[in-house]
Structure 1
Amino acid sequence: MTALAEAPAAPAAVRRGGGLGRYVLVRFLLIPPTVFLLTTAVFFLMRITGDPITASVGDRLPADELRRRVHEAGYDRNVFAQYADYLGGLARGDFGTTLSDRVRVTSMLTTYGTATLELVAYSMVVALVLGPALGAVAARLRDRGADAALRVFAVLTYATPVFFTGLLLKLVFAARLGWLPVNGRLDTADEIDLDAGGHGGGIYLFDALRLGDAAMAGDVLRHAVLPAVALGLLSTGIFLRVFRANLIGTLGTDYVLAARSRGVGEWRITTRHAARPALIPVLTVIGMQAAYLLGGAVLTETTFEWKGLGYELTQYLQARDYAAVQGIVVVLAVIVAVANFAVDVLAAVIDPRVRY
């Protein structure tokens, strides 16, 4: 009785049944300031070199026409007044108009954003399939030759630039073997058919399935293999190392030892008893890896001419089209913030310890 009386009281959050609601609210409230700070930084960094119109088309316009366009766009006003107008436009969902091709930034983001999300989704599938699978092999063969080789592979996939990996894949599987397409998201004829039918500009795999065209769906996947593998390998090594380390830890826990003493097979122990707890740390790094893959998508899309936001970002940077660049950066920031929020919530639901 004395021991019970002197036992320390449980934390208040535990007595209330957990702090999931508060945890989710705090993580959600972190999204707006994160996006705001990045948007502010991009805006003022872009203005260091002067107004966007002069920077993008100043060398191609007469002086009078240039002054007129700068004045009409309001870029000759105080930079803080421009910033206030820019924030007001963002609050209304108005990202402005691109300076080089005069299209609405929101239209450009809608058209090419789905292509980037499609590529990142394919890449994440590659990383989540290869990483834990190879990590399980490394954990089961700990300190053997295969384990050492896989750990070296993990370091190489993380350290190798994605454009170099992409060029190697193109050289081997496209140029030499001719197994897969070199560039693009779809054969030109199929892409024209999608656009003509009003289905283009979205996630091509869904478009092909909605049309019931199995051949087009296969073509979409064939075009996605090389860029998805090139980009997915960036995160494969991270997932491999995280899963390997945690699987080794769970294989030494009491409940795994108890299952082994009952005669449960090693394969069942690994897949049923040890793999689930070891996957939780993998889930917690998915958000960070999503941001990493979005950054890698810029070089991947350029290497494979995958017409997404990354590819368009390089084109607009070359054209010094700051309005388009700002819009792309804001959207990417929102996607990364939301992805991290979703992963944080998922991890908190799976493992209550994360909430405290």
Structure 2
Amino acid sequence: MLKYILKRMFFVFFVVIGVTLVTFSTMHFAPGDPAEVIAVARYGEDLTQEQIDWVRVTEGFDSPVYIQYLKWLEHVLHLDLGRSVVTSHDILEEITTRLPATIKLAAASLLISLCISIPVGIISAVRKNTVIDHLCMAGALLGVSIPNFWLGLLLIWLCALTLHILPSYGYGGIEHLVLPSVTLGTSMAAITTRLTRSSMLDVLSQEYIVTARAKGLDEKTIIFKHALKNAMLPIITFAGLQLGFLLGGSVIVETIFAWPGIGKLLVDSIYARDFAMVQGCVLFIAVIFALTNLAVDIMYAFLDPRIRYEKS
């Protein structure tokens, strides 16, 4: 087990290094002179060549690209993501300030997703090819087909503008959390429902389930004690991937509901052409996603003893 964990951590390290290369390259692949872009973001459109040259020297753009990358990577390894070119705020501090809002939204959305998808998926699998099964799958198909931005706007129109029962935007109490978390949770629940149904059907066709039924065990015991435990493995894996996505910040939903999370910060930075903040946000999201995948892989080994990661 230890060998597998170290191997996975080794791969995660190289994934993160690859992300730093891509993230750093975004500024240089963007149209225009990076020094001029930063100067405009700081001082406005009315610039002199001396100001642009001064920014180029102070920001290190006069050095070769690989030297710039190595210096930036050195700072990143020391958890120094630099400062915003627009506000001059510390990037890592700004991200960590927005992180609690993103964690709150991610946890609520994942909870809603699992509370909907697991019971519906189990019922659909147990009632295979019945009217209930067809209705559940039709609902799941509808949920997959509806884009987040459209569902979010629909909920705002219904709950905030028409019924006046929930706020349409902002960060505060639980009433502010309902609409964005339902928007994210229901869309994810549609996918997880189909996965739960498929996993349950696969497990219910196994020989040990047939044997349990032949022994006369009641259906509830078979489903919840024997089948569900094994059917949960792919669901847990997918839920871990969903959590990584949510912790990275759901850009569209956070923007629609003005939720002050990492996704909203990323969008605002793109509009402000704050390349340093965009780099920091993208790198942070990639690291969170990679670490979440690592945690899911490790948890999988403990949940399923049939998986052997080391050679005997």
- TM-score calculated relative to the size of structure 2: 0.91
Q: Partner of 2:168 in structure 1?
A: 182
**Structure 2 Cα separation of the partners of residues 156 and 162 of structure 1:** 12
Aligned equivalents of 1:251, 1:353: Cα separation in 2: 18
**Higher-RCO chain (CA-CA 8 Å, sequence separation at least 6):** 1
The AA in structure 2 aligned to 1:97 is R
1:129-154 alpha-carbon deviations (Å, 9 max, x no partner): 11111101111221122212222322
Change (3 A) 1:142 1:268: same
Q: CA deviation at 1:32?
A: 1.1
Write the distance in 1 (CA, Å) between the matches of 2:114 and 2:35: 44
In 2, are the aligned partners of 1:57 and 1:100 still within 8 Å (CA)? Answer: no
Residue 354 of structure 1 and its aligned partner are, at CA, apart by 3.2
Q: Which runs of 5+ in 1 are unaligned?
A: 1-19, 187-219
- 1:21 is aligned to 2:6: no
Q: Does 1:259 align with 2:199?
A: no
Distance 1:179 1:340, change over 3 A: same
Query: Quick check: 22-31 or 50-59, which moved more?
Result: 50-59
Residue 54 of structure 1 aligns with an amino acid whose one-letter code is E
Write the mapping of 1:1-356 to structure 2, written as runs, cut at 5 A. Answer: 20-48=1-29, 49-58=31-40, 59-63=44-48, 64-186=50-172, 220-294=173-247, 297-356=250-309
Structure 2 CA distance for partners of 1:341 and 1:77, relative to 1, 3 Å: same
Larger radius of gyration: 1
* CA distance in 2 between partners of 1:91 and 1:327 (Å): 12
- Segments of 5+ residues of structure 2 without an aligned counterpart are none
Identical-pair percentage: 33
Deviates more, 1:109-118 or 1:294-303: 294-303
> Amino acid of the residue matched to residue 222 of structure 2?
I
> Which amino acid is 1:316 matched to?
S
Asked if the contact 2:258/2:264 (under 8 Å) is kept, the reply is yes
**Structure 2 CA distance for aligned equivalents of residues 162 and 234 of structure 1:** 7
In structure 2, the residue matched to 1:215 is: none
Q: What is the identity, as a one-letter code, of the residue corresponding to 2:129?
A: D
For normalisation by structure 1, the TM-score amounts to: 0.80
What do residues 308-335 of structure 1 show as CA deviations (whole Å, max 9, x unaligned)? 1100111100111010000011111111
| Alpha-carbon distance, 1:286 to partner | 2.4
Cα 1:44–1:50 change in 2 (3 A) is farther
